[in-house]
Every structure is written in structure tokens, then in C-alpha cells.
Amino acid sequence: MKTQKRIAAQIMKTSPNKVVFAAERLADIKEAITKADIRILVSEEAITKKPVVGPARAKARKVKAQKRKDLRKGAGSREGKKTARLPRKEVWMNKVRKQRDFIKDLKDKQLIGKETYRDLYQKSKGGFFRSRRHIKIYCQDNELFVGIKK
């Protein structure tokens, strides 16, 4: 049977592990000793090959679902530089926009005057502030809030 399996695999251009014999035709398969005999059995479908199984996607779908939830994004999963994942310019834009919104809110709530607003705006534009919180601390330290003393 080992020989028949090897010959069948050769004919069907597959691995011997993928060759399947029909249980009811085992006697016929045992008697087949030439390639021609095996070819006939293959055409009669007494000898078949297992279907090709593609890669399983279950694990990939699970990983994708977790990534959608912002998981699996730790240091060990990252490829490329920090600036490749989020460009320097985008980081800068986000930071400055937040700062400008904050300064505008302060002006709208009349916590700072026009001159102070201009000064903070220019400082923000020049990269003086690290964050919104830094602006708040700066204003408190320099007593820039209208009517609020230290």
C-alpha cells in the first residue's frame, strides 16, 4: 500500500500524506502495481487527494478585533520610529491647535485681556509652551488672569 500511495502521489502531483484510498476499493488498490493501474483507479475516484486547506483566519480576525479596541499596540508591537507612526508636523499641529483653543477660551471667558491673549498666542506659536497645562501654570505664576491674584 505504501508503494501505491507513493505512485498515486506522483500521478496527482501531491504529497503521499494527501492521498486517500476509498475503504471499499482497498482490494483493487492492493492489486494495482503499475502507474497505468493507479491512473485508472484515480479516474474511477477510488484514489483521491485531500482538499487544499487554506490558512485559518480565526486568529487573525481575533487580533484585528482587539486592535480595533486599541489593544496590542504596546512597545513590543511597534515597528518604525515614533515619528514614522505620527509625523513631527502632525504632533506639532495637534499641540498648537489645543493651545490656541485654550487661549481663545480664556479670552472668551474674559480671564485674560487682548494684550495678554496676543502675547500668549505668539509664545504658543514660537513653541514656548509644552502643553495646555503649561499655559495655565505660566498664567498663574505671572498673575495674568484678570482679577485673580496669587
Which domains occur in the chain, in start order?
2-49 (1.10.1650.10), 84-141 (1.10.1200.60)
Residue-wise pLDDT for 46-81, tens only, equals 999 999 989 999 999 999 999 999 999 999 999 999
- For the entire predicted model, the pTM comes to 0.56
Residue-wise pLDDT for 79-102, tens only, equals 999 999 999 999 999 999 999 999
- What is the C-alpha to C-alpha distance for residues 126 and 96, in angstroms, rounded to an integer? 10
CA-CA-CA-CA torsion sign (95, 99, 100, 102): positive
